[in-house]
Every structure is written in structure tokens, then in C-alpha cells.
Amino acid sequence: MKGLAAIYRRELAGLFLAPLAWILLLVVLFYQAYFFLLVLSNPSRGPEVNEALSLVLGGGYPFWLLLLTLAPLLTMRMISEESRSGLLEFLLTAPVADGAVVVGKAMAATTFLALAWSSAFLFGLLVQFLGAPPDWGQLFTAWLGASLASGLFCALGLVSSALFSTPLLAAFMAILANIAMFALPPLVRSLHGPAGALLAQVLERIDVFRHFQGSFQAGVLDSAHVIFFLAWTAAALFLAVRVVESRRWLG
Amino acid sequence: MIDVQHLSRRFGPHLAVDDISFRLERGEVVGFLGPNGAGKTTTMRMLTGFLPPSGGTVRVDGFDVLKDSLAVRARIGYLPESVPLYRELRVQEMLWFQGRLRGLSRAEARRRTGVVLERVGLAERARSLIGCLSKGQRQRVGLAVALLPEPEVLVLDEPTSGLDPLQRLEVRALIRELSKERTVLLSSHILPEIEATCPRVIILQRGHIAADGTQTELVARLGGGGFVRLELARPVELERARTDLAALSGVHSVEAQLLADGNAACEVRGEGDLRGALGALAHARGWTVRELSWQRPTLEKLFTHIAFELEHEHPAGSVRAAPPSAEGAA
Amino acid sequence: MSAPGRFTRTAIGLRAVLAAVLAVGAAALAVDVSGWRYARLDLTARQSNTLDPATIDVIDKLPEPVTVDVFLRGLKAPYAGVCFAAQTRLQEFLLVVEGARRGRIELAFHDASDFEATQERQRELATEGTNKVVLSCGARRAELELFGELFLMDWGNPSSEEQVRYLAGQGIPGVVDPRTWRGGTFRPAEIAEFRGEELFTQALLKVSSGEAPKAYFAKGHGEPSLDGIEPSDLSRLKSVLERDGFEVAEWDPLRSPSVPGDCDVLALIGAQQPYQESTRTAVKTWVEAGGRLLGAPHLEDVEHKLAGSTASLLSELGLAVRPGVICQPLVGLGGEKVESDSRCTLLWIDERGLQPSHPLTEPLRLRRRRLQFTSTPSFDGGGYQTDSGLVLPLVTSPADSWRDLAPFDFSCNAAKGERRERYTLVAVKQFGSAKAADGSVSQGRVLGVASAFFFDNQSLDTNRDFALNAFNWLAAREYRISVRALEKTESYLDFARGNAKPILTYTLWLGLPGLCAGIGLLLFLRRRN
Ligand SMILES: Nc1ncnc2c1ncn2[C@@H]1O[C@H](COP(=O)(O)OP(=O)(O)O)[C@@H](O)[C@H]1O
Ligand SMILES: [Mg+2]
């Protein structure tokens, strides 16, 4: 897509030039360090490095809590605020497809998160230096999975940002949607009765954690699970583009 | 270059632009004039493809805005009313970004950045953060952004708003210069702006085209209200003077009134400049003339006239001066 | 040309909703389709997510999908941690299995939080208890216990009577027996081994294969009870067999003299009285006609050379049992060898005592499984050909063991003719092929285990795998597939030594955030205009 690279670069620069990004990075570092050390100091298990690394990269709920709130915070302004300030008018009258604009923004936010998650590599280097080499393959797949999941939640955040006109409202709704997407399948699975079972079967298809756990967390690249994330990300991006488009129609 | 046919746009129940048609030839400079809320911005947004029209078609250089949106956008340099700029970027970075969006090579983008900044007079602020610029400077950066791709068509929405008088003059000069090479469509709700820069004017009023033509044409056809002002020193017999004046051939109407200081002021309307005939009459009657002057017909008069007319008489029946002009550049 | 505003608004809204539905549908479809054909790439250092080809093969050949119901419940402190670790590991393993061939294995986790649904499912599966995995395929079931089967546990030493009773009350096999607990210092429980892959594969084979084989246990001659729960009874053997897919029944030769026609394995274990002549003849002719016999004589029977007992029946079939108890020196506290102690009759057989290259013992040998014998007689050395078939020793005692002859003094007494050598504790004899009544060709098999104590409740924890292998081999169900264990890479930091902990803590809390803040500040300062 023409112009995609330009938009992507601009958005990335925009993210890193704003203080919010650095504050979020700092928060991520502290948060991850806290849980990493928490696992390592678990007396009944001993300082096992792989488990600790897995926890900070999607193996446990703290990570998902972080991701579910972080992605909307990054994307909340991307469309809603630009639409207010007129920047969207600038972008959408440039000879660039709407899709490229939305995808470029999503990619920038995802890149930021992927970068934040790669702090786990630094943790890995550190423990390797301290004499406990981690399983790099597993670390890599977990990072990849975390980044793919970030892409999905950023895309959802963009949908919300396109739907709602104030960034805060957009972030709030996106966080709600993310939590629903993440927590609904396991909740429904514990329902009983035939209706519950059917619903659980349907919701299986959006079960982020299960698709993450079964492969990325364990150190496996599974084409089906990669496609799971890519497919939903694509669907969310498509939706975001459609919403941006209908905003034009509605004015 | 731009061909607009039966264009309309609604926002919910509200009709912002109602069935307007006009054509712009290559190299023409046209001013969109209209009070706030007349639909200037809406029309421009439809021309640039930002808003899809509710009805009608827009073609730019033969491309339909809806069907070949990207081709149209590539030909237009657009300065939106809100002058959208990334405040956290430097001026030159903003321009480079525009260059990348337009698919310019790096070297070309940098070369043109220098050129357009020179043109808008911001060459020495190239490394300033946009957020730190004044409103007028930002306006000029926005202009530079619109100019950078060297588009065939420039669409400028209120390009001089927020500028001080001196900068305004500069921008006017710039637009005049640009008009030698490109088609320019600019909008303003300030009349002198348009008068100074645009040979051809389209007056928009409540979503309709109220008037369309060159300035002289419009003034001539609509009787923009040129009159002779005659001020007589006291003592004046007002009624007498009025009947005398009205009796002159070529005079259509006379308005005469006594001023506070006892002098009398008359506005004489008729066929063109009647100063000679009036002077002769005054001489014959022995009036003491304090002033005898020709008040040129102005767009402003026309504008207020139209606005007034539409407000109070028949909103739908616009005063159509001429069919869409095909006279080429002024 | 312009449509009424309201209509266009609705149309636009509808179009957006339609787009949303389409996008969601397309994504769901893609997710579904991606599950049909997929590739998995295991990037872990030790391939800990790649199932053994043997397991994959079994899964591929499943005639229909297998449902795996997992019933888990946590244990109380101080066993909560180890229980959680085991459950987590099991879960990870099952996810790997599910991911390896999707659609073939369906997982259903039941946690204790939804009690009713769990109970209902348990009723459907006709099972009870928690911390177990139930595989079901149609009407066939196979159960695997979390503790004792999937995980071999070392339960350590509880610190209080209360803990002992708590553990015993959980129905976990192999925990500390409240009757034998003697106090002492606390030692935490540990996972000794995870055997998920192997047992799971076997369970899969079982639920996907045909009918249940039938094992008959002779009764009426002083055999230990199949239902009693005394240490000397066989109830655990029975339940282990049943869970392995066997149908266990009793045969009373006094009532019906001929071996039941549907008998796949006949077990004569621990009879203390002789069998009648007619019974012995019936068994012999049955074996020669292709029957499968497991014989384990009682010590008394051997010592007193009872005529017509299990021992003599085995001898008549070619597996001669010798009186005398096999002993092995004890290892004292200082590593010295101790004899003249009644505990010398407890034999621990490691992989050196297991016959390689026999399907029954080889998997155990590869997995370094140990066997336990108490007060066992022995067979004549094997490896010889009798007129009716080949006798093979399967399990032999250690090289420094001796056969202690009565009167027992538990020391190697050359004067009594006691010699240190390897004695055969388990021997097998295969007969030539014979045509059964229904026309199928079958080979008679006799498996002799020198001591009936080998199978009793007390020893079965240790000998469980062997016992199962034995019954399965006799029933010609050779599921004993050697499966590579999936190991997770574990890498431990050494906090005790050096200053690893402060380095880690300071780098994580100060170093990295400092770096981040520094870069951010630098950028901020550089872009201040
Ligand atoms: N996004 C919008 N939503 C609803 N109404 C709008 C929108 N944009 C413009 N309008 C309405 O359309 C009319 C024309 O607006 P506009 O084109 O901005 O006028 P101007 O001539 O001042 O640029 C106004 O009455 C305004 O209220
Ligand atoms: Mg406007």
C-alpha cells in the first residue's frame, strides 16, 4: 500500500515524541520487573528462569491486564483526536488509501508494544549473564505471540478510537471490549447447560488466551494460532477502516 | 479542470450544499465567497474527496472524486480550514512527511521543502517545532504543505484567516503568483480578500450559488450600486434640489437628506457616472458644492444586497448572474 | 439524486453493520479453516513440545476423536505447591497433545468451582474422585490418576499426624500410611517423575481398541482377596487392571472345573492349598492349547513343597520353583554391606536385573524402573529349551544375592551350599502355536513370578508397571510403547552464591528503567526547540 510506510513512520515518531509513550514504557519496565522477580523469589519453586520469563510474556494474567489497558491507551488518540484536530482530514485527502492510514497507525502502536515486550529479551540476557541461560526459542515465540496479540488489541483500540469522538471515551470502551474479548470465553466455558456449551463452542473462536497458551507460551509456532491472531487483527482493521469511511459519509 | 455538477450534501436533515454546479478551467483563480455557514468548507471537502457528496458529481482533471479518489487527491493540494499540522514535528519534518505521503523521493522532498519554505517566508524557521509557531506562521506552514507536491489544483480554505495585515498582503501576493501556474480555488468570508486576488468570484449563500462571474461582470449586471454623491452647502432647498436632480436625464433615483450641520447630502443613481451632468446642473442653479464624487460599485454592496435579498425575500430564488463562466483566465 | 437524509443514515449504518458481520464471519471462518491443515514448529531448546512419533502415530490412527476429561482439585498446604505444579505440568502436556493433532483429542477441564457440572460429567463417565484424567471414546474409558500414575511422587515426610491423615484421606495411592508413620522431620513432597506421554499414549490405545480382555483369578484355595484392602490383598491390582481396560473376574475351579471359555489371562496368585488334579489338568491342557497363565506361588507352598500347588503346577509346565528365600545384603549407614538381618529378604531390582529385548521388561529397563520383591523363592535359571517350549528368565536378582535355605539365618552360608549369584525371579515360557477351538492360532504363554507377594497391595506401587505389562503381554495387548519423555527446560539462577540476586534486582529496578528514562529525557531535551 502506497503511503503506508510514511504513515507508519510518522505515527511511530509521533508516539515516541510524546511523553506518554515514555511514561508507559517506564510503567511496563517496572511492572514486568516486579512480576519477574516475584516468580524468581517463589520459595517453593526456586528461581526458575523460563517460568519467570514466560509469566512476563503472556503466561499469566498480569501480562494480559497490562496489554488490555496499554493498547487502548496507545491507540485512543490515533483517530478520535486527529479527527477533531483536522489531521485526519489532512491524511484522508492525501493520495493514500484509508486502509493504509489505519493499518499504518495500528502497525505503529503494535511496534511500540512489541518493543516494550522485548524488555523480556533484556531480562533473558541478564539471567544468561548470571548463569541461567533461558530457553531462547520459547522466549522468542512468547514474544512473537505477545506482539501478535498486541496487534489484535491495538486494532480493536483503533476501532474504538474511530467510533468515539473523545480519546478517553475511546480508551474506556476499548478496555471494556478487550476485557470482554479476553474473559468471556473462559467465563462462558464454566457455564453449564446445552446453551452454555454451544456458546462456549462459538466463543472458542475468539479465545485469545487459549490460542496463546497452546503454542506461543509453550515455545511452538503454530500456523493456526498465528492465523488466529492475524485473522482477527485483519477483521478489526477492516472494521476500523469501515468506521472511518462511514464517518466521512456521516460528516 | 474542476467540473462540479448538481453537487449537494446533507448533514442529517440539514442541507449544507444544495445542488450547485460550476466549472473551473485550468489556470483559473476563483474565490468562494460567502458568510459563515454558507457551505464553502463543505464544498471544498467534497472537491478534495474528504466528504462524499450526497448527490451530484465532482470531476477533477476528468477523474471522478468518488471513483478515482486517489487520482483526484494526487492532483489537489488542500489547505483545510483548521490548518492541521503535527505540533510535535518540526516544520521541515512535516514537509518531508507530506513528501513521503505523495511518493516523492527523499532528495526531491528536501529540495522542494527549501523552495516552498522560501516562498511562504519561513525558510529560517525550518527547524522550529510547529507547536511553537504563531498562528500566522502555522497558517503559512499549512500553505507550504499544500504547495509542496506542486499540485495542479490548489484548494485553500480561508488561507488568510489569522494573519496580520502585512502577512495577508504577502499571502495575497503569493496566491497571485501561484495563479500564473495553477488552478486555484480559495474561500473566504472576507470580501477584500477575494476582491484583491480573484478575478472570478462564486458567491455562496446557504448552500446555493448566489452569483458566479468575474467581478466587473457581476457588478455591471447586478448594478452593484455605483452612485454619485453630491453634497451641497447650506442653505439648501432640499425639495427643490431633489426634483431638479430627478429631472435630469439618466437619473433613476435620488436620495436627499439634510445633514446635522444643515448641509444636504444626495445620492444620485442612474446610468453610470453622472458627475458631469450634475456638476453642470449645480453650476446652473448656483449651488455651493462641497463634494461631488463617484462611488464605485463594489462587491461588498453586491454581497450585502444578495444576502439581504435571500434573507428576506425568496431564499430559493438565487440571483444567478451568468451561466458557469467559460471565459477562461482573467 | 439526493436521497432523504434519514434513509442514507440508516443505509450507511446498515452497511457498516454488514461490514462488521462480514469481517467477523470471515475471521471466524479463517480461524476454523486454519485448524484443518496446519504446521507446528517447535522452537524450544529441548523440543519439549514435540510428541514422540509413536504417540503421534497412535493419535493419527484413532478411529474417532477421544474426549479427555480432566478432573482437578488442589491440595492443602503444605502440598498445595507441588499439587499445583503437577496440575500445571499436566495441563501444559495436554495442550501440547491437543495442539499436535487438533480435532482428534478434545479436552475438557473440570475444576472444582463448578461442582454440579463436574458431578454430572462424572456420573456420565461412571467415575468418581478428583485429580484424574478420564479418556473416553464411545463407551470405552481409560482412567489415569494424577498422583501415582501420571506423576510418580515422593510424598516426603509429613510433619504431623493431621497431615498424614489428610493425605491418606485424599485417596492418593502411595502416600505415607498412617499406620506406619513414625514422625520425624518434615520433608516436602516432590515430583519424582512425569509419565504423561507414555501413559497417555497407552490410555489412547486402550480406549481406541476393541473389547476388554478378561482376566480370571482363581479362588477357593486360600488366595488373597481381590477386594480386601489389607497390605497382602490384591485389590489394587484389580483396580489397576480394571482401569487399564481389563475385565477382572474370579474363577472357582471347585464349581466349574474347566477354565472359562472367555478367559484371556488366568492368574493363579498366592494359593495356599493345592489344586485338585482335575483343575491342574484343565489348566495345563488350556495352556498347551494356547492359553495364557500367570502363576505366582505362595512362599509357604514353595517351602513345604505342597504337592499339586501352584509351584508344582508351574514346575510341571517347565518353570521349576526352588525353595529358599533370595536375600541381598543391606546397605548400612556408612555404605557397608550388612547381612544377617531379616530385612535382607527385601529385594530391590534395578534395570540391571531386567531382561533386555523382551517386550515385557525392555520398556521398564529403559525407564530404569525398579521392582520390589519380598521373601521370594526363585526359579531354576532360564534360557533353556524344554521339550514344549523356550524358558526365558525375565527378572534376575542382583549378583551379590544368595538363596537362603531353611533354617533362615539371612546370611550367605557356604556350608549350607548357599552361593552368591543371579537367581531368576520371573521366568516366562512360550509354547508352540496351537489351534484354538474357534480356529484362531494362539501361542500358549506361562509367566511365572516366584512370589505372590509381588502383586499384593503393599508392593504394587512399585511393581505396578510390571504387573500391567505382564497382564497386557499375556493378553497379547502390546501397548508398551517406549515413548520419549517430554522434558521442560528448566534453568535455575543460583541466588545462594555470589551476588546474582543484587545484580538482578538493581538492574531490573534501577538499570533498565533508568536507561529508558534517560533516553526519553534526552529526546525531550533535544526537541525543546
Ligand atoms: N460535520 C458536520 N456535521 C453537521 N453539520 C455540518 C458539518 N459540517 C458542516 N455542517 C453544516 O453545514 C453548513 C455549512 O458549513 P460550512 O461548509 O463549514 O460553512 P462555511 O461556508 O462557513 O465553510 C453549516 O450550517 C454547518 O452547520
Ligand atoms: Mg468554512
**CB proximity list for B236: less than 8 A, separation 6 or greater:** B258, B262, B263, B264, B287
Helix (H), strand (E) at residue A108: helix A98-117
**Tell me: domain B226-295, CATH 3.30.70.1340, correct?**
yes
pTM: 0.75
DSSP state of C187: B
For B53, the closest chain C residue by CA position comes to C2
Question: B39: closest CA among B161, B205, B211?
Answer: B205
Instruction: Name the residue with cell 515465540.
Output: A141
Query: Of residues C75 and C498, which shows the higher confidence score?
Result: C75
Determine, for residues B80 and A93 on separate chains, whether the beta-carbon distance falls below 8 Å: yes
pLDDT the model gives residue B85: 95
How many angstroms separate the CA atoms of C391 and C385, rounded? 6
Determine, for residues B101 and A9 on separate chains, whether the beta-carbon distance falls below 8 Å: no
Going C203 to C207 to C208 to C214, the CA torsion angle's sign is positive
The answer, yes or no, to whether residue B327 has pLDDT greater than 60, is no
B317 pLDDT tier (thresholds 50, 70, 90): very low
The 10 Å Cβ neighbour count of residue C179 is 8
Answer whether B35 contacts ligand 1 (Cβ < 6 A).
Answer: no
pLDDT the model gives residue A192: 67
Determine, for residues B80 and A86 on separate chains, whether the beta-carbon distance falls below 8 Å: yes
Q: Which atom of ligand 1 is nearest to the CA of B38?
A: 21
Locate the domains of chain C by residue range. Answer: 53-203, 213-474, 504-529
Answer whether B34 contacts ligand 1 (Cβ < 6 A).
Answer: yes
Size of interface A-B (CB pairs under 8 A): 74
* pLDDT tens per residue, range B46-77: 999 999 998 899 999 999 998 899 999 999 99
C11 pLDDT tier (thresholds 50, 70, 90): confident
Separation of CA B84 from chain center = 22
pLDDT the model gives residue C482: 54
Q: Measure C199 CA to nearest chain A CA, in Å.
A: 21
Query: Of residues C192 and B324, which shows the higher confidence score?
Result: C192
**C10, C24, C31, C523, best to mutate vs chain A, most A CBs in 10 Å:** C31
As a whole number, mean pLDDT of residues C30-49 equals 84
- String of b and e for A91-116 (b: at least 16 CB within 10 Å)? bbbbbbbbbbbbbbbbbbbbbbbbbb
Domains B2-220+301-326 and B226-295 alike in fold:
no
Answer whether A251 contacts ligand 1 (Cβ < 6 A).
Answer: yes
Q: Spell out the CATH class of B2-220+301-326.
A: alpha beta
Q: Identify all chain C residues contacting A47, using CB atoms and an 8 Å cutoff.
A: 492-495
Largest Cα–Cα separation, chain A: 61
Taking all residues of chain A, what is their mean pLDDT, rounded to a whole number?
Answer: 91
Ligand nearest to the CA of B39: 1
Q: Measure B60 CA to nearest chain C CA, in Å.
A: 20
**Tell me: domain C213-474, CATH 1.10.3720.10, correct?**
no
Q: Report the nearest-CA residue for atom 14 of ligand 1.
A: B39
Determine, for residues C529 and B10 on separate chains, whether the beta-carbon distance falls below 8 Å: no
- Between the CA of C12 and the centroid of ligand 2 the distance, in Å, is 25
* pLDDT tens per residue, range A139-162: 999 999 999 999 999 999 999 999
* pLDDT tens per residue, range B162-179: 788 888 888 888 888 888
How many angstroms separate the CA atoms of A208 and A186, rounded? 10
How many angstroms separate the CA atoms of C44 and A77, rounded? 39
For A175, the grid coordinates are: 478496555
Determine, for residues C39 and A239 on separate chains, whether the beta-carbon distance falls below 8 Å: no
Q: Hey, is the C-beta of C385 within 8 angstroms of any chain B C-beta?
A: no
How many angstroms separate the CA atoms of C109 and C107, rounded? 6
- Between the CA of C114 and the centroid of ligand 1 the distance, in Å, is 58
Q: Identify all chain A residues contacting C85, using CB atoms and an 8 Å cutoff.
A: 45
Cβ(A94)–Cβ(C468) under 8 Å?
no
Q: Measure A102 CA to nearest chain B CA, in Å.
A: 14
The answer, yes or no, to whether residue C26 has pLDDT greater than 80, is yes
Ligand nearest to the CA of B82: 2
Instruction: Name the residue with cell 468471556.
Output: A184
Question: C12: closest CA among B69, B13, B54?
Answer: B54
C479 pLDDT tier (thresholds 50, 70, 90): low
CATH of domain C53-203: 3.40.30
Taking all residues of chain B, what is their mean pLDDT, rounded to a whole number?
Answer: 84
As a whole number, mean pLDDT of residues B115-126 equals 91
Locate the domains of chain B by residue range. Answer: 2-220+301-326, 226-295
Answer whether B202 contacts ligand 1 (Cβ < 6 A).
Answer: no
**A44, A129, A156, best to mutate vs chain C, most C CBs in 10 Å:** A44
- Between the CA of B42 and the centroid of ligand 1 the distance, in Å, is 6
- List phi, psi (to 5°) of B4: -110, 125
E strand spans, chain B: 2-11, 14-24, 29-33, 55-60, 63-64, 76-79, 153-157, 183-188, 200-205, 208-214, 227-232, 251-258, 264-270, 289-295
A176 pLDDT tier (thresholds 50, 70, 90): very high
pLDDT the model gives residue C9: 66
Going B245 to B247 to B253 to B255, the CA torsion angle's sign is positive
Cβ(C424)–Cβ(C380) under 8 Å?
yes
As a whole number, mean pLDDT of residues B231-252 equals 84
Q: Which atom of ligand 1 is nearest to the CA of B36?
A: 22
Q: Measure A22 CA to nearest chain B CA, in Å.
A: 15
- List phi, psi (to 5°) of B90: -85, 160
pLDDT the model gives residue B326: 37
**CB proximity list for B47: less than 8 A, separation 6 or greater:** B2, B4, B58, B60, B65, B76, B155, B185
How many angstroms separate the CA atoms of B226 and B296, rounded? 5
Determine, for residues A93 and B76 on separate chains, whether the beta-carbon distance falls below 8 Å: yes
Q: Where are the alpha helices (DSSP H) in B48-164?
A: 69-75, 91-101, 106-120, 135-147
